[in-house]
């Protein structure tokens, strides 16, 4: 989700207003994803690098998160949406951490859509953490180095309960991944759009999915093999 700041700047508004309007897009996209029957949606909401923004902006984002969680609990419940997170959420301000824990607990039995928020998330941090956990297990003879494979690595990432990413969408015209799910997007389809996040609507999501549906995912094979 990128482009909140530029959306606000274009209108001569404060960046905070851009973030506020961004939450409307979140609402719409979550609802649309559930309606389409897509079982997993992961939103990159706050990166490990976003701490380097001005304190005022970080505070605004944290406050917005708490108020959105409070406001949306009813809708999550109604739409059978389970909240999940990736990233070190225990390092977030305690008000945010508590609210997250509470919503996660209250939505844990919902099974229509798993909505994952990447918060204080960075893929390099995740991979580093994974290597540390596996190393400890190797040291304690719980895993032997020869047994380390894709599966073991997947099981030590924050995304251990999530499937691989099918489609990755980045808004606002930036052609970067910015430390998001680096391991998990090995075979994802990438979709970049110039639309700024606060302008990203259901129609834009439909467009991205139609584009995705017209791609051939070969996973290293040839087209001919896929048609057999």
Q: Any idea which residues carry the catalytic annotation? A: 2, 50
> Which of 29, 34, 61, 117 touches ligand IPE (CB under 6 A)?
61
Residue 122 touches which of ligand IPE, Mg ion, none (Cβ within 5-8 Å per kind): none
DSSP strands (E only) in 98-219: 113-121, 167-170, 189-192
Exposure pattern of 41-76 as b/e (b: 16+ CB <10 Å)? Answer: bbbbbbbbebeebeeeeeebbbebbbebbeebbeeb
**Helices 202-213 and 15-36, packing angle to 10 deg:** 50
| 19 versus 156: smaller Cβ distance to Mg ion | 19
Interactions with ligand IPE, residue window 189-228 (CB under 6 A): 197
H-helix or E-strand containing 34? helix 15-36
Interactions with ligand IPE, residue window 159-178 (CB under 6 A): 172
Task: Please tell me whether residue 3 binds ligand IPE under the rule CB under 6 A.
Answer: yes
Distances (CA, A) of 161 to 3, 64, 158: 29, 27, 8
CA dist 91 and 8 (Å) reads 28
CA dist 3 and 8 (Å) reads 9
> Which of 20, 29, 42, 46 touches ligand IPE (CB under 6 A)?
46
CA dist 165 and 89 (Å) reads 21
Residue 6 touches which of Mg ion, ligand IPE, none (Cβ within 5-8 Å per kind): ligand IPE
Give least dist CB 35 to Mg ion, A: 28
Altogether, the residues listed in the chain come to a count of: 228
Distances (CA, A) of 152 to 124, 129, 137, 179: 17, 13, 11, 21
The radius of gyration of the chain from alpha carbons, rounded to an integer in Å, stands at 19
| 2 versus 126: smaller Cβ distance to Mg ion | 2
Task: Please tell me whether residue 2 binds Mg ion under the rule CB under 5 A.
Answer: yes
Q: Which stretch binds ligand IPE (CB under 6 A): 44-52, 98-106, 187-195, 215-223?
A: 44-52
Task: Please tell me whether residue 50 binds ligand IPE under the rule CB under 6 A.
Answer: yes
Q: Which stretch binds Mg ion (CB under 5 A): 2-10, 43-51, 65-73, 88-96?
A: 2-10
Give least dist CB 127 to Mg ion, A: 22
Task: Please tell me whether residue 126 binds Mg ion under the rule CB under 5 A.
Answer: no
Task: Please tell me whether residue 6 binds ligand IPE under the rule CB under 6 A.
Answer: yes
Q: Which residue is nearest to ligand IPE (CB)?
A: 5
Binding residues for ligand IPE, rule: CB under 6 A, are: 1-6, 45-46, 50, 61, 172, 197
Binding residues for Mg ion, rule: CB under 5 A, are: 2
């Amino acid at each position: 989700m990128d482009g909140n700041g530029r959306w606000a700047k274009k209108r001569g508004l404060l960046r905070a207003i851009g973030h506020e309007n961004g939450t409307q897009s979140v609402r719409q996209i979550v609802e649309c994803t559930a309606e389409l029957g897509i079982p997993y949606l992961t939103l990159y909401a706050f990166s490990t690098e976003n701490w380097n923004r001005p304190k005022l902006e970080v505070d605004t984002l944290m406050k917005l998160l708490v108020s959105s969680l409070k406001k949306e609990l009813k809708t999550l419940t109604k739409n059978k949406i389970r909240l999940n997170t990736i990233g070190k959420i225990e390092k977030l301000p305690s008000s945010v951490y508590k609210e997250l824990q509470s919503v996660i607990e209250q939505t844990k039995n919902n099974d229509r859509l798993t909505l994952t928020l990447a918060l204080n998330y960075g893929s390099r941090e995740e991979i580093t953490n994974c290597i540390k956990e596996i190393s400890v297990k190797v040291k304690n003879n719980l895993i032997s180095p020869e047994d380390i494979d894709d599966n073991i690595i997947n099981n030590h990432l924050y995304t251990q309960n999530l499937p691989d990413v099918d489609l990755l969408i980045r808004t606002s015209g930036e052609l970067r991944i910015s430390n998001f799910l680096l391991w998990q997007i090995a075979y994802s389809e990438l979709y970049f759009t110039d639309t700024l996040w606060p302008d990203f609507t259901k129609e834009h999501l439909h467009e991205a999915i139609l584009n995705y549906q017209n791609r051939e995912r070969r996973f290293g094979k040839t087209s001919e093999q896929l048609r057999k």
